[in-house]
Amino acid sequence: MSGGNVKLESLTKRFGDVVAVDDISVEIQPGEFFSLLGPSGCGKTTTLRMVAGFEPPTDGTILLDGVDVGNWGPNRRNVNTVFQSYALFPFLTVAENVAFGMKYKSVPKPEMKTRVAEALELVQLSGYENRRPNQLSGGQQQRVALARALVLRPSVLLLDEPLGALDAKLRRTLQVELGVLQKQVGITFLYVTHDQEEALTMSDRMAVMNHGRIVQLGTPEEVYNEPADAYVADFLGVSNLMDAQVERAGDGTSPCRLRLGDFILDAEAGQLDATGAVKLAIRPERIHVNPYETGGANRVPGMVERLVFLGSTTHVYVRLATGAALQTLVRNDGGELPYSQGTPVSVALPADALRVLPDPGVSVAEIRDETAGDQLLDLTGTSTS
Amino acid sequence: MGRRQDTYDRRNRWLWIGLAAPGAIWLLVLFVAPFYVMLSVAGGSVNSFFQTAVPIWNPLQWSSANLTAVWHDIVGPGSFLGPPALRTVLYTAIATVISLAIAYPVAYFVSRYAGRRKTLFLVLLIAPFWVSYMMRMLAWIDLLQQGGFFNRALSFVGLPGNTDWLGGKSVTVIMGLVYGYIPYLILVLYAFLDRIDQSLIEAARDLGLSKWRTFWSVTVPLSKPAIIAGTFITVLPMLGDYFTNQLMSGAPSTTMIGNAIEGQLESPGQTGQGAVLALMLLVVLLIPMIYYVVSTARTSREMA
Amino acid sequence: MASTVETPVSGASHLEPVAWRSRPRGNPWRRPWAMEGFTWLYIIWSIVPIAIAVLFSFNKGASQATWQGFSTKWYVGSQVTSVLHNPSLHHAVIQTLVLGGLTTAICVPIGVGFAIGIDRWHSRTSNGLNFVMIFSFVIPELLLAVALFLLVTQALTFIRLGTPAEVAGLVVWNISWPAIIVRARLASIGRTYEEAAADLGASRMGAIYRVLIPLLMPAIFASAVLVFASTVDDFVIVEQLSSTANTQPMSVLIYSNVHGGLSGPSLNALATIMLFVSLLAALIGFVAYRWMTRGERTKGTTEALTGIAGI
C-alpha cells in the first residue's frame, strides 16, 4: 500500500491529572524519516503509542492517509511497531517470528516463505531463519524485529527507541544502516528517541518535545543551528548558555548589542529584537580560543580550566572573566595546543554564531537539569553566571 | 511501565473476567459455600432416629445446642477436649521450632554456598515432594516397628531395643510432623533466601563486619520475611493435622485437635458438634491467616 | 595522631589509615564445611528411610528389617497378595490414576484462566477472589474436607460421594498451584509480547492463544505436574468424600491398613508404585519444561520452584 501520510491534529492524552501529550499537531509526509526527540517523560512515547493504537487519545484526531484511525485497534491499522525490547517471541524461530503477522493478512504459504526470505535479506540476516532469538546478539534481534514489521509492508513504521539497549559503537553503525534502509524501502519512519545524536543523524525532519508539547519542528540543521529557545538549544548538543542583558535591540540592519558581565558583544542570530534579560547560545565548534593578547571584536578574556582528550578531538573548558563556563573543541591534527590548564586566553564568540534566545525565566543550571542526557562531558559542574 | 499495563488491562476487562470465571465459580461453590453448610450444621439439630445431622439454613434459627455441648467438652466438668487442644499447640510449636532450626541452615547453605551443585541439592530437597506423604510415613513406620531397623540399631550399640515407638509416644508424633512438613518449609525459605541480594552482604563485609556480625545484623533481618512466611505455611496446616498422629501413634495419649474433630464427625449424632469444633479451629486460624494473606498481598504489590 | 602516613587532604586526620588492631582470624574464604555436612545429614535423614522402604518392597519375605532376597512377588508374583492380582490393591492403582488424571485435566485449565484473569482484572472482587485462593492454600485440609463432606451430603447432593465428589474437592484444593505458579510467571512476562502480537494483526484472544499461552507453557506444565503429584498423594479429602471400598485410591488404602490389615510389603509395593507414578510425572514435566524453554534464557528449575512460595 502506498501512502504513509500521518496527520496529528490537536492530539491530547491525559492520564488522570497528568497531561502526557498536550495538543500537538504535526503532519508527516509519506516516505519521510521523522523523529520525535525529547527527554524521558516528554510525551514522545505516548504519542507513538497513540499512533500505533495502544492508547486511545483523550482528544484530537489521528489521520493515517486521511482516515481517522483514533478508535481503531492496533491490529487494524496499517502501521507496525519496532519495540524497545524487540518483543521477539522466544518460543519461535527467527523465520516464524518474521512470518507471524502474515497469517492475519491471509498470505498463502509459499508466498510467506519468499517474503520472509526477502525481509531477512533486507536486514542482512539471510540464513538465520532457524535460529532462536536467544541465540542472537542485541543488534541481530533488533534487525529481526525490523524484518518482522517490514515484511507486512506497512505504510508507516513506528520505532520506539530501538537502539537504546545497544552499546555505543553498534548504535552508531545501526543509525546509519537504518537511515539507508528507510530510503531503500521508502516507507514513512516515525522514530522516537531521547538521543539527539540519533535524531540528527537519521531524520529528514524532527520534532523536539518537552512536557507534552512540540517545542520546535524542523530539519536537523534548522533545529541545531537555529534553536527556537534555550531548552532546544541545550538539548541538541552543547549550547554554552549564558545570561546577558540587551543594550540595544537589533533591527533589520544592525545586530543586537548585549552586555555580558562587563563586556559588550554583538549577536547576529536568533531573536534580535528581544529586550531585557536574554539567554545567549553558541555552539562549541564556533568558539575560538586564542592567546590572551589577541584583539578583535566579540572577544572576552578567560582562562582554560580543563582539557579533556577524546581521541579525535580535545574538549577545552574555559571560564570567562564574567564567570560563565564554556565548552569548545579542537581537532587533534598533530600539532600541540598553544595553551594548557591555567593559561589565560582570549575567547572569540563570532557574532554570526552568537544566538539570542528568549529567557525562559529559569537559570542556566535548571535548564541543564531538564535537558540532562547525552551531552558532551561537563566537568565544570553547575557553576555558571 | 505501569501506564502501558493499565491501558491494556482496562481495555480487555471482560476478557479477564471471563477467564477467571470458571475458577472463581468453583472456588465460591466448593470452597466458600461448604463453610456456610458447616455453620448450618453446627447451628443445626439432630435427627434422633437416624442420629444424623440436620442443618438449619436460616442463620436466625441457628441453635446453640452444639456450641454449648462442645464448650462443656472443653472447659466443663467432663471435659476431654482440653488436653488435645493444648497438645496440639505444644506439638506444633515444638515441631515448628525444630523444623526451622533444621530448615534454615540447609536452605541458607543451598542458596548461598552451593555454587555449581545448586541444582543437585535442589533436586534432592524437592525429592520428598514427589515421594508421597504416605510413602514417607510408611518408611518411618517400617523403621520404627518393634523388629525394625531403628530398634535393631539401638540394641546393636547396647541401648534397649524393644521400645514401642509407634505405640503412643509424643516424640514419634513430633518427629513425624517435622518429617512431613519440613520439605515445604525448606523450599519457602530457600526461595526467599535466594533472593537476598548478595551485594548487601558483601557491602557489610566490606565495611568491616565480621562474618558473625554480618549474619546477625544483615542476613537475619533480611530473612525475616522468609521465616515469617515459612512459619505460616507450616503452623497453619499443622494445627489441623490428624493423620500424623494416627500413623505414628494411634493412641489416645497423643491425639491432636484434628483427631477430635474427625472423631466427632464420624460418631453418629455428634456431627454437629464436630462441625462446631472445626469452626472453632477455623476461627482460631482465621486471624493469622488473614494477616498472612494481607502481608503477602502487600509484599507482592510492593515488588510489582 | 602519631601517624607517619601523609594525608593528601589536610585537616582530615580521622581518615588516616589505622593499623589493624587484630590479626584476621582463619581463612575468610574457607568452605562452610559444617553447614554442608549438616545439609547432607538432613538429606540422608530425608531420603534414606524411603530408599529402605522401596528396597524392602522387593523383599522375598514379609519382614521389614531382614533382607531375604530379591523378589517381585509383592508386585506381580503372588496370587493373593501382589498388587497385580489382589483386586483391592489393583483397583487402588487405577483409582489413583483416574483421580490424578481427571483432577489435573480440570484443575489446570481453570487455574490458568483464573491466574491470567485475576492478574489483570484490577478490582476489589478480584482481590477478594485472590484472597480466597490463598486461603485454600494455607487452610488445614481436614477443615476443607469436612466442609465439603457436609456440603455434598446436606446440600448439593447431586454431587455423589465417590469419584465425582473427590474430583470436585481435589480441584478446589489444588487450584492454588496453577494460580500461583502461572501468576508468578505472568509477572515476568509483561504485556509487551501481546502488544507486539496485536501490532502484527492479532485479535485479543488471538494474541493470548498464540503468544501468551506458549510463553506460559513451562509454568502451566510445572503446575500440572504438581497438581498431579499432589492428587496422587492426597488422602484427607479423598477419604472424607469416598463412598465404597472400591473407590479407594492407593493413598487411602495404605492409610487405612497401616496398623494391621494388609501385610507390610504389599503396602510398601503400593507406596513404591505411587512413588514411581509421581516421579514419572515429575520427570516428564521436567523434560517437557526444559524442552519448551530451550528458546529462552530462563533459570529453568529454580523459577518453577520459587513460584510455589507465593511470590
C-beta atoms of B134 and C141 within 8 A: no
- In tens, the pLDDT along C224-254 reads 988 998 898 888 899 888 876 567 888 888 8
Neighbours of B23 (CB within 10 A): 27
| Confidence check: pLDDT of C201 > 80 | yes
Given pLDDT bands bounded at 50, 70 and 90, which one contains residue A45?
very high
Chain C contact for A92, CB < 8 A?
yes
Distance from CA of A54 to the nearest CA of B (A): 7
* pLDDT given at position C8: 46
Nearest-CB residue to C42 (from B102, B138, B149): B102
Given pLDDT bands bounded at 50, 70 and 90, which one contains residue C261?
low
Quote the number of domains for chain A. 2
Give the span between the Cα atoms of C70 and C61, in whole angstroms: 9
By percentage, how much of chain B surpasses pLDDT 70? 93
State the cell numbers at A147: 524484518
Residue C64, phi then psi, degrees to nearest 5: -100, -5
By percentage, how much of chain C surpasses pLDDT 90? 17
Q: What is the dihedral of CA A218, A222, A228, A230, to 10 degrees?
A: 120
Chain B contact for A54, CB < 8 A?
yes
Domain end, chosen from A206, A225, A244, is at A225
More confident residue, B295 or A81: A81
With DSSP H G I counted as helix, E B as strand and the rest as coil, what are the percentages for chain B, rounded to 5?
A: 80, 0, 20
By percentage, how much of chain A surpasses pLDDT 70? 96
By percentage, how much of chain B surpasses pLDDT 90? 11
- In tens, the pLDDT along B222-268 reads 888 888 888 988 998 898 888 888 888 877 788 888 888 888 877 77
* pLDDT given at position C222: 84
* pLDDT given at position C21: 53
A308: CATH: 2.40.50.140
Given pLDDT bands bounded at 50, 70 and 90, which one contains residue A61?
very high
Q: Do A220 and A235 fall within a single domain? A: no
Sorted by sequence, the CB contacts under 8 Å of residue C131 that are 6+ apart come out as B293, B297
Q: Do A219 and A289 fall within a single domain? A: no
C-beta atoms of A80 and C198 within 8 A: no
Distance from CA of B157 to the nearest CA of A (A): 59
Chain C contact for A89, CB < 8 A?
yes
Q: Do A287 and A252 fall within a single domain? A: yes
- In tens, the pLDDT along A161-219 reads 998 888 888 888 889 999 999 999 999 999 999 988 899 989 999 999 999 999 999 99
Mean pLDDT lowest for which of A210-224, B14-28, B270-284, C97-111? B270-284
Which domains, from first to last, does chain B contain? 81-266 (1.10.3720.10)
Q: Do A221 and A79 fall within a single domain? A: yes
8 Å CB contact between A146 and A123: yes
| Confidence check: pLDDT of C1 > 70 | no
Whether residue A72 lies inside any domain: the answer is: yes
Whether residue A384 lies inside any domain: the answer is: no
Give the span between the Cα atoms of C87 and C101, in whole angstroms: 21
8 Å CB contact between B115 and B194: no
* pLDDT given at position C26: 61
Residue numbers in C near A103 (CB within 8 A): 201
Q: Do A180 and A115 fall within a single domain? A: yes
Give chains near B: 3+ CB pairs under 8 A. Answer: A, C
Q: Do A64 and A185 fall within a single domain? A: yes
Give chains near C: 3+ CB pairs under 8 A. Answer: A, B
A355-358, strands of its sheet edge to edge: A263-267, A256-260, A242-248, A277-281, A355-358, A269-270
- In tens, the pLDDT along B143-189 reads 887 777 788 888 788 877 777 777 778 888 899 999 999 998 998 88
Q: Do A142 and A82 fall within a single domain? A: yes
Give the span between the Cα atoms of C225 and C234, in whole angstroms: 14
Q: Rounded mean pLDDT of A245-268?
A: 87
C-beta atoms of B135 and C116 within 8 A: no
Whether residue A15 lies inside any domain: the answer is: yes
| Confidence check: pLDDT of B39 > 70 | yes
* pLDDT given at position C308: 39
* pLDDT given at position B77: 63
* pLDDT given at position B2: 58
Sorted by sequence, the CB contacts under 8 Å of residue A200 that are 6+ apart come out as A206, A220, A223, A224, A236
Q: Do A23 and A149 fall within a single domain? A: yes
N- to C-terminal Cα separation, chain B: 11
**A with B: how many residue pairs have Cβ under 8 Å apart?**
8
- In tens, the pLDDT along A272-326 reads 888 888 999 999 999 999 888 888 888 999 999 999 998 889 999 999 998 888 9
Pairing verdict, β A59-64 and A33-37: unpaired
- In tens, the pLDDT along B95-127 reads 999 999 999 999 988 888 877 888 888 888 888
Whether residue A1 lies inside any domain: the answer is: no
Q: Do A85 and A188 fall within a single domain? A: yes
| Confidence check: pLDDT of C296 > 60 | no
Q: Do A27 and A123 fall within a single domain? A: yes
C-beta atoms of A132 and C292 within 8 A: no
Chain C contact for A152, CB < 8 A?
yes
Neighbours of C185 (CB within 10 A): 22
Pairing verdict, β A188-193 and A33-37: parallel
Chain A contact for B8, CB < 8 A?
yes
Domain end, chosen from A199, A225, A251, is at A225
Which domains, from first to last, does chain C contain? 78-309 (1.10.3720.10)
Q: Rounded mean pLDDT of A228-256?
A: 86
Q: pTM of the predicted model, to two decimals?
A: 0.79
Whose grid coordinates read 454431587?
Answer: C159
Given pLDDT bands bounded at 50, 70 and 90, which one contains residue B50?
low
Q: Do A75 and A218 fall within a single domain? A: yes
| Confidence check: pLDDT of A347 > 70 | yes
| Confidence check: pLDDT of A56 > 80 | yes
- In tens, the pLDDT along A328-344 reads 989 888 888 888 899 99
- In tens, the pLDDT along C177-190 reads 899 889 888 888 88
* pLDDT given at position A221: 93
A78: CATH: 3.40.50.300
More confident residue, A213 or C287: A213
Given pLDDT bands bounded at 50, 70 and 90, which one contains residue C172?
very high
Q: Rounded mean pLDDT of A14-42?
A: 92
Q: Which of B5, B7, B8 to mutate to test the interface with A (most CBs of A within 10 A)?
A: B7
Domain end, chosen from A225, A244, A259, is at A225
Side-chain half-sphere of B268: how many Cα atoms within 13 Å? 6
Give the span between the Cα atoms of B162 and B243, in whole angstroms: 25
8 Å CB contact between B241 and B256: yes
Whether residue A378 lies inside any domain: the answer is: no
Give chains near A: 3+ CB pairs under 8 A. Answer: B, C
Residue numbers in A near C200 (CB within 8 A): 75, 80, 100-101, 104, 148-149, 152
Nearest-CB residue to A87 (from C193, C201, C206): C193
Mean pLDDT lowest for which of C41-55, C151-165, C197-211? C151-165
| pLDDT mean across residues, chain C | 79
Whether residue A64 lies inside any domain: the answer is: yes
Neighbours of B222 (CB within 10 A): 16
Pairing verdict, β A299-309 and A313-320: antiparallel
Chain A residues 11-50 within an 8 A CB cutoff of chain B: 15, 46, 49
Q: Do A206 and A262 fall within a single domain? A: no
Whether residue A165 lies inside any domain: the answer is: yes
Q: What is the dihedral of CA B78, B84, B85, B91, to 10 degrees?
A: 160
Residues in chain B: 304
Q: Which residues span the domain enclosing A118?
A: 6-225
Residue numbers in B near C185 (CB within 8 A): none
Whether residue A326 lies inside any domain: the answer is: yes
